[in-house]
Structure 1
Amino acid sequence: MKGAFHGTSSSYHTMPASIRAALGPTNTGKTHYALTRMMAHASGIIGFPLRLLARENYERLVKIKGERSVALITGEEKIVPPGARWFSCTVEAMPLDRKAEFVAIDEIQLASDPDRGHIFTDRLLHARGTVETLFLGAETIRPLLQKLVPGIEIDIRTRLSSLASTGHTKLSRLPPRSAIVAFSMSEVYALAEVIRRRRGGCAVIMGQLSPRTRNAQVELYQNREVDYLVATDAIGMGLNMDVDHVALAQLSKFDGTVPRPLFPQEIAQIAGRAGRGMKDGTFGTTADCPPMSSALVEAVEQHRFDPIQRLYWRNHELDFTNPANLLKSLTRPPPLRGLTAGRVASDVTTLESLMLDPDIRESARGKRATALLWDVCQIPDFRKLGDDSHTRLCARLYMHLLKEGAVPANWMEGHIRGLAKTEGDIDTLMHRLTGVRVCSYVAARTEWSRHSTMWQERAREVEDLLSDALHERLTARFVDRRATTLLRRLDSDSDRSLLSAVKPDGEVLVEGHSIGRIRGFTLETDVAAGPDRQIILRAGRKALLHEIPRRIRLLQDAPDTSLRLDATNGELFWEDTRLGRLAAGPSLLRPAIQLF
């Protein structure tokens, strides 16, 4: 860590730099407060836990301060105008060598995450604004903040609205404006399929989505084209939407190593997305998930959780004399109580794998070559294929950078062009997007390419192309606009009847949607048996309340010549419409009529 973020600067103020924390549950306005504080300073940097949030708040800042004054830095995106004064970043990508009056870290309690926690802990211990430093997060980290940052001022904020449990609710009975949360892609897909069949459709939010796809799905929900949202716990981190109810479909998750129960504070983080501003929210369970215990419900409703006992730490004072010393410095034990070593991160496992390569062992000699090797190891394994493909990619890039000083243009061109294909299913498109993220990360390292701006633009074009295609696939699979519209009108308390019409050819339109064709007195739908058909028939019955009596009057007034009997099978016809058939009656001359 470079020293520009430490202490005070006499060129700014003679007063000591303040270090403060705003802690509390979701919906307390912490992020808005931090952005307001940052804009009150001449310069500022704020670190967010997700690329999506960094992008979202960058756009908020641009609207207020203008494009020339605001920068965005994430692993995959770098937009840094020459006169940029306010920076929205992911925590990992914060420019730590840049002086700023204000520095803030969002969701600081993630320092207790065994995978990414060491990054947040490092920022907690070392990232400082020259005038003001602000940490945002859950109150559970309060004791450790006071211990690790002596003299820190802590502001406890209360939730703007209440959060109440409604227990377990069947999927089919969830109220509109509900978010259903699961913890695996397969479970999200399964739930979204059920919601489409029973409630007309839903938007889908997962951490793996690109910002563009995620925003398009959010817009689908926010514009009320659908009334339901199925998501992973990605919605727990700062996703601001008009959600009234959060229903958890699972109370456990796979944490990268083993399945485990959700911690109460994790449930609160997710459930807290219900309600916004002064509007109250509700939460509960759904699908096959059992109800929460009374103790868990009380903890979530009252925001009372056990304090965090430890934060994850990794040494930041690295030894680049050679790869072996680098690895040794990375595994140095924590210096303070309350800090512990986290899981071995992917950058360390990549380093260990590359050190086994004879060519790299031979080439990685001296500080420059070792520092470059560590930089390459920082490339995230977005694809997570479970084989050694990521290590091989890093090895090739390292040798190119070491020997040629840049990533070859044909490497970038080949990778980006190979990913620019929009055919395939949802999973195929998501896999291509992870590949583009790797290209974007490499292109964003401006020192690695002679034309980094061009490659960033090319990668962004392909990401946008794939993102739009993915949004279309998700919408086509999980949204039935006709069913959504009809259900909304059928379930409405409004006295307004359904707007319907029957065209001369018998096609039945309800609220602008074709639901089938009426032949005689029978509605023939284009949907097979199942929940969709039940929705159509419900709408059809309401829509034909006036049409059926009209047809009965026409039949009553019709001349006898318009009726005929098919002698071969006993079927009765009114003009060209089959009405029914003759059946055995009380006598030969008094047959019964069986209507179709």
Structure 2
Amino acid sequence: MRPLHSQIRAVLGPTNTGKTYLAVERMLGQMSGMIGFPLRLLARENYDRIVARVGLSAVALITGEEKILPPNPRYFICTVESMPMDRTVDFMAIDEIQLCADPERGHIFTDRLLHARGRFETMFLGSDSMAGLIRHLIPDAVIESRPRLSTLSYAGAQKLNRLKRRSAVVAFSVDQVYELAEAIRQQRGGTAVVLGALSPRTRNAQVEMYQAGEVDYLVATDAIGMGLNMDVDHVAFAQLSKFDGARRRPLTPPEIGQIAGRAGRHMNNGTFGITNNVKPPDEEVLRRVEEHDYHPVRQIYWRNRSLDFASPRRLYASLNVHPQQEELTRARDASDQVVLAALMRDEGILARAGSRDRVQLLWDVCQVPDFRKVMPDHHATLIGHIFTYLVDKDGRLPADWVSDQIERLDRIDGDIDTLTARLAHIRTWTYITHRVDWITSAADWQARTRQIEDALSDALHQRLTDRFVDKRAAVLGRSKGAEGADLLSAVTKKDEVVVEGHVVGHIEGLSFKPHDAADRREAKALLAAAHRALGEDAPRRVKALEQSPDQDFGMTPEGRITWRGRVIARPDKGDSLLSPRAVLLSNSLTDTNLTERARIRVQNFLDAFMLRRLKPLLAPDIDPHSLDAAARGLLYQLRENLGALTRKQAADTLGALSKSAQASLTKIGLRFGRDWIYLAGLMDIKAVRARAILWSAWSGSPVPEIPNSSSPSLPRDRVSDPIWPMLGYTPLGPIALRLDRWEQLTAKLRHHPRKTPFLGDGKFCAQIGLPEKDPALAGVMRALGFKPAPLKEGTQDALADPPAFVPATRNRNALRKSIKPETPSAKTQKPQRPVTVRPNPDSPFAILKGLVSRK
């Protein structure tokens, strides 16, 4: 990617500082963006979250094994290796930038550090230890340090059977992980298992089992060090050394801190310690981990990106070029380079790589990842077959060979190790099938490999669960109480209501949705136990509602208030048109105090929502005391009519309005048109919807359907005519036209030469929000006092040219009078609930009126 002039920020700090959240928010604030994550699992997790906010069509997912590419995505969520570096985006971010110092993958992160740039903003996320090096390599980068949201402290040594619940135990070999998991199963009932060799689907299933509370322990390798956000309170190290691919060495303080940092989330503090008779770390190491005080990174790994494809040997030589800066050190030979070296010993491969294009193809094939982690020569054999077939078979792999390689992996029998090996094989083939230029019917093979991977992942999850979780049989018939009094029940963190291990329903927002029961007696017992769990969970749920930020709430186009995506309330008629009252919908809260607390929180959101959408109306940036009486009266009239008045309605007030007051009102967006007085800040679609919701709550009518765009016009039959001005529109023939467009249109028509036909061309139609040559155009012009112009002589089709219109009357004054807002007939108006505020019967004016009437 060509470096662009953009703001470069390095947001650095320990785990649990909100760095990723910040990057996502910054990206979504731009028109386009790309984030590179260190793991496929982390990329997928953030892809799902972003899709939930902006929709499937706006987001692409690109990893080695998975590609979801809508036609015109705005945002790209990728693994760092798979980032399309030739695409220009407004925002660019790289997560875990400290991996520049990783011996295996560091050169890729270094390449992104030096060359990946967004058009307007570039952000690097990672450890504080990278601050000095980034400052040196990128002098114009702004370094921002973020503190951890919670504390992390050392808790000492504990035996496995004394570890507190919600603990993760960490080891660095598969055998050690299985041994620890078996011990925890025997002593504490069961554990989830997370290994780097597991597929993302299996890892997710194991983590979900832990998150749901089905088990309280997790045994894992350092695979949990990045990307897995779990409710872990304590991390216990069963080993403090690891094999890094070259030698066994002690863990560094940053590595300990990265893994231990999984303990505690958000504002919850976490602890870490040792177990399994491990010797404790030095006091200095513990201090550094607790204080997140790590030695700065002095050197990072680099590999030449200017490759020479003249021949395989020159390609290999260009990969071995040394960097010119002392802060950069040449990366150890990565797997793709090792495979290239192995293939260069094959004369058949060298003979086929006789041109630049063939050498480029050879390098592309060498980058197929080896998820199997077999010996390099074994992987090179597969790569050699792929390259040979691509050269000899016109750039495509033979379908029968691909089928034989893939279909033999479609088996779910065998033990944990067998299934793990098959998963590694199919993941390699998943990557290959995403090279659509190599595979015939690539989409079909992608679906097939995904199907096999999912089946193997599910089978492996079941084997791990069967081996390391001792599930107690939940027999509902054991209940002694007829009403389920002695059934164990609870609400899980996934909002599932569980009775004796069975999911009997789930909570949506504040409502309980029961599942079907086998029979009436069972249903009665289950529901009784479920409601007991709901009652116990209600304070926690209401507290979560009260503490939720406004971002967790939303308003549907139908005028329903949501919390975490679930409908929980609606606006109802309040004390005035501008003050709707929040009303909770059907819910499982039985305590009136809790119900009112929940309603008050929703009311606060509703008030803030309306203030955001309708600020020019509800809280204009003007001191009311600086205005004269006429100006304050005009603002009052506007509030009563949701931001729009005809000149006739405001005639008395306008006559008394001073020029200085009018100028002050103009500054806050009030527009004084020839026919309408309106607030320009309420013309956008969000404000129109908010006004529609206010009108609906006050009148008791359904919220009119408003499209998701700031359309200049809407079909007139959406609501009755008197309501349109309250939404910022005025009826005009078959449509309702936005007030600002009305003023522009009528001014144009009034000043149009009377003897010159007015053309309803594409530009004019766009101005009033109609497609070109729309039949409704004639009705609009008729309502304005115009009629179709006579066809030119010899013209057969009126639609062949832009339709022309002429005044329906020769009288200029009559024409001007016709170009006015329509006043709907009282006979045609549908009965509406009044939209004016009812007077207070206890006010002095009401009492005075009563005395006068008695006289």
TM-score by length of 1: 0.79
Give 3-state SS (helix, strand or coil) of 2:65's partner. Answer: coil
Aligned amino acid, residue 383 of structure 2: C
Q: How far has the Cα of 1:411 moved from its partner?
A: 2.1
Aligned mates of 1:229, 1:89 — CA distance in 2: 27
| Corresponding position of 1:187 | 176
Q: Report how far residue 484 of structure 1 moved.
A: 12
Select the residue among 341, 345, 349 that pairs with 1:352.
341
Distance 2:172 2:326 in 1: 33
Alignment of 1:442 with 2:429, yes or no, is no
- Letter of the aligned partner of 1:215 in structure 2? N
Task: For 2:469, give the aligned amino acid.
Answer: V
2:408 is matched with 418
Query: Could you say which residue in structure 2 is the equivalent of 1:564?
Result: none
- Name the CA distance, whole Å, in 2 between partners of 1:246 and 1:154: 30
Q: After the TM superposition, which residues 110-149 of structure 1 pair with which residues of structure 2 at under 5 Å, given as runs?
A: 110-149=99-138
2:232 corresponds in structure 1 to: 243
8 A contact 1:46–1:103 mirrored in 2: yes
Aligned partner of 1:99 in structure 2 is 88
Give, in whole Å, the separation in 2 of the partners of 1:348 and 1:387. 10
Q: 2:4 aligns with which of 2, 7, 23?
A: 7
Q: Name the structure 2 match of 1:176.
A: 165
Aligned mate of 2:295, from 295, 298, 306: 306
Cα drift, residue 498 of structure 1: 7.8
Superposed displacement of residue 384, structure 1: 1.7
Q: Are residues 224 and 126 of structure 1, via their aligned partners in 2, closer, same or farther at CA, if it must alter by over 3 Å?
A: same
- Residue identity opposite 1:71 in structure 2: A
C-alpha change, 1:512 and 1:155, in structure 2 (3 Å) is closer
Cα distance in 2 for residues equivalent to 1:499 and 1:89 = 46
Residues 116-164 of structure 1, C-alpha deviations (whole Å, 9 max, x = no match)? 1000000000011111110000000111100111110011000000011
1:471 maps onto 2:455 in alignment: no
Distance 1:40 1:407 in 2: 43
Deviations along 1:338-377, one digit per CA (max 9) or x if unpaired, are 0001211111110011111111111101110000000000
| Unmatched segments (≥5 aa) in structure 2 | 476-484, 489-498, 502-855
From the superposition, tell whether residues 239 and 424 of structure 1 become closer, same or farther in structure 2 (CA, over 3 Å).
same
Q: Using the aligned pairs only, state the percent identity.
A: 56
Tell me which residue corresponds to 2:419.
Answer: 429
Q: Which residue identity lines up with residue 323 of structure 2 in the other structure?
A: P
The residue number in structure 1 matching 2:265 is: 276
Cα distance in 2 between the residues matched to 1:304 and 1:353: 43
Distance (whole Å) between structure 2 residues aligned to residue 174 and residue 484 of structure 1: 26
Map residues 33-48 of structure 1 onto 2, 5 A cutoff.
33-48=22-37
1:196 aligned residue: 185
**In the alignment, which of 31, 37, 53 is matched to residue 42 of structure 2?**
53
Contact 2:9 2:123 in 1 (8 A): yes
In structure 1, what residue type is equivalent to 2:4? Answer: G
Write out aligned runs for 1:356-375 (5 A). 356-375=345-364
Q: Indicate the RMSD between aligned Cα atoms, in angstroms.
A: 1.8
Separation in structure 2 between the aligned mates of residue 126 and residue 212 of structure 1, nearest angstrom: 33
From the superposition, tell whether residues 140 and 457 of structure 1 become closer, same or farther in structure 2 (CA, over 3 Å). Answer: same
Decide whether the 8 Å contact of 1:199 with 1:483 is kept in 2: no
Aligned counterpart, 1:296: 285
Give the residue type in structure 2 aligned to 1:458.
Answer: R
Q: CA–CA distance in 2 between the matches of 1:407 and 1:78?
A: 20
Taking the aligned partners of 2:199 and 2:50, their CA distance within structure 1 comes to: 20
Q: SS in structure 1 opposite 2:274?
A: strand
Q: Give the 5 Å matches for 1:382-401.
A: 382-386=371-375, 388-401=377-390
1:407 aligned onto 2:404:
no
Task: Report the CA distance between 1:58 and its aligned residue.
Answer: 1.0
Decide whether aligned partners of structure 1 residues 296 and 484 sit closer, same or farther in structure 2, where only a CA change above 3 A counts: farther
CA distance in 2, matches of 1:293, 1:355: 47
Q: Assess if the C-alpha contact under 8 Å between 2:61 and 2:69 holds in 1.
A: yes
Tell me the secondary structure at the aligned position of residue 321 of structure 1.
coil
Taking structure 1 as reference, are residues 381 and 484 closer, same or farther at Cα in structure 2, changes over 3 Å only? farther
Deviation at 1:387, TM superposition (A): 5.9
Structure 1 consecutive aligned stretches of length 4 or more whose deviation exceeds 4 Å = 497-500
Is the aligned partner of 1:456 residue 2:446? yes
**What secondary structure, in the 3-state scheme, does the structure 1 residue paired with 2:472 have?**
helix
Q: Aligned letter for 1:475?
A: T
**Partner amino acid, structure 1, of 2:238:** A
Separation in structure 2 between the aligned mates of residue 231 and residue 285 of structure 1, nearest angstrom: 14
What is the number of residues matched between the two proteins? 482
Distance apart, 1:481 and its partner CA: 2.1
Confirm or deny: 8 A CA contact 1:117 1:313 kept in the other structure: yes
- Which secondary structure does the structure 2 equivalent of 1:180 belong to? strand
- The higher-RCO structure (CA 8 Å, 6+ apart) is 1
Structure 1 unaligned regions, length at least 5: 9-16, 486-496, 501-510, 514-596
Query: TM-score, length-normalised on structure 2?
Result: 0.55
**Counterpart secondary structure, 1:481:** coil
